[in-house]
Amino acid sequence: MNEADPREPETGRAATGGPSVVRPYGDMTGDGMVQISFTLPVGHDKRAEGAALQLAAKMGLAPALLVHARAMGPDHTFFVVYGSVTHLVELDKVQVVERDFPLLSAKEVNTAIRKALRRPLVVVGACIGTDAHTVGIDAILNIKGFAGEKGLEYYSEIKVVNLGAQVLVPELVERAQEEKADAVLVSQVVTQRDAHIHNTTQMSAAFREAYPAGQVPLLIAGGPRFEEGTAAALGVDKIFGKGTTPGEVASYLVHVLGDPGRGRRQQGSTGERMSA
């Protein structure tokens, strides 16, 4: 197979029966066409448009077509470029994080908590730092929920304490201690300069410092820009990305905290939960 020709038919089959190697699709199968957008810190003129095409060429788009350019103030220009790439996608090498716990109904979650804990499961949630976007945390915690599912407030065996937006990490730790939280949910939507990463690592470090070993609550972070599989690096137990529903979070809580065979957890150096 000649990888330089984006129109050459695919060969090889993936484990699912489809092709193991694919290319982007634009006007016809295998043409490698993609569309990208970006902003350059230059005013909108012919030179700026030439700079955009130069960048597209360095990114491997050949040929590249500038389909949109618009001034964003006097010193910035927004571009949309359409072009063909020769890069391949090898599906057999794609790595995904599969859900390792069953999805339960609200009734099953409540029953599991009653049997395992014999008391309500306490969840404290907040948007930390300067993040004022409560849509994500409210979608999981508030009774109105998200995507047709009721939020955690709907569950009779879950006590929810929603602290809202712009909560300082020391305040979150103190409230979690007061409420004797089993789990702490942190939502991060603002991601400029990796604020979501810095805030989350700061939060996890503060909880490890404030709690004795083996008694740290379950730490969960969620937001649209978190990458799957980064929980260990951030020092938390679980990362939830965009599209997460309240039922998924409730099922995970039961999976980790509601199983009496698992016992209390403590946070290890890898960010995973270990038997105490």
Q: Do residues 35 and 165 both lie within one domain? A: no
| Predicted confidence (pLDDT) at residue 112 exceeds the cutoff of 90 | yes
Domain that holds residue 28: 21-93
Instruction: Show which of 33, 65, 93 is a domain's final residue.
Output: 93
pLDDT band for 3, please (50, 70, 90 cuts).
very low
Q: Is residue 107 pLDDT above 70, yes or no? A: yes
Total domain count for the chain?
2
pLDDT at 262: 46
Examine the pLDDT at 131 and tell me if it is beyond 90: no
Q: pLDDT value at position 17?
A: 62
Query: pLDDT tens across 167-191, in order?
Result: 999 999 999 999 999 999 998 876 6
Q: Quick check: is 237 in a domain?
A: yes
Both 32 and 167 in one domain: the answer is no
Give 270 or 231, the one with higher predicted confidence: 231
Same-domain pairing of 142 and 58:
no
Range 27-44 average pLDDT: 94
Verify that 38 and 175 share a domain, yes or no.
Answer: no
| Separation of CA 106 from chain center | 23
Residue 12 in this model has a pLDDT that exceeds 80:
no
- Greatest mean pLDDT range, 24-28, 64-68, 136-140, 221-225: 64-68
Q: Which residues pair with 13 in a beta bridge?
A: 19
Q: Which of 68, 93, 118 is the last residue of a domain?
A: 93
Mean pLDDT, residues 155-171 taken together: 94
Q: Is 107 a catalytic residue?
A: no
Last residue in a domain, options 93, 128, 153: 93
Domain identity same for 173 and 213: yes
Tell whether 52 and 184 lie within a shared domain.
no
Tell whether 83 and 194 lie within a shared domain: no
pLDDT at 264: 42
- pLDDT on residue 256: 92
Predicted pLDDT of residue 73? 95
Q: Average the pLDDT over 248-270 and give the result.
A: 65
pLDDT at 48: 97
Query: Among all chains, which residue has been given the structure tokens 């909560």?
Result: 167
Percent of the chain with pLDDT over 70: 86
The rounded mean pLDDT for the chain is 85
| 74-99 pLDDT, tens digit each | 999 999 999 999 889 999 888 777 88
Q: Where are the beta strands (DSSP E) in the chain?
A: 21-22, 33-40, 64-71, 77-84, 89-90, 121-127, 158-162, 183-187, 218-222, 238-240, 265-267, 273-275
Strands lying side by side in the sheet with 33-40: 33-40, 77-84, 64-71
Q: Are residues 78 and 112 in the same domain?
A: no
Average pLDDT over residues 15-25: 78
pLDDT at 28 over 70: yes
Q: Which of 144, 159, 180, 242 is catalytic?
A: 144
In the block, residue with structure tokens 């979150």:
172
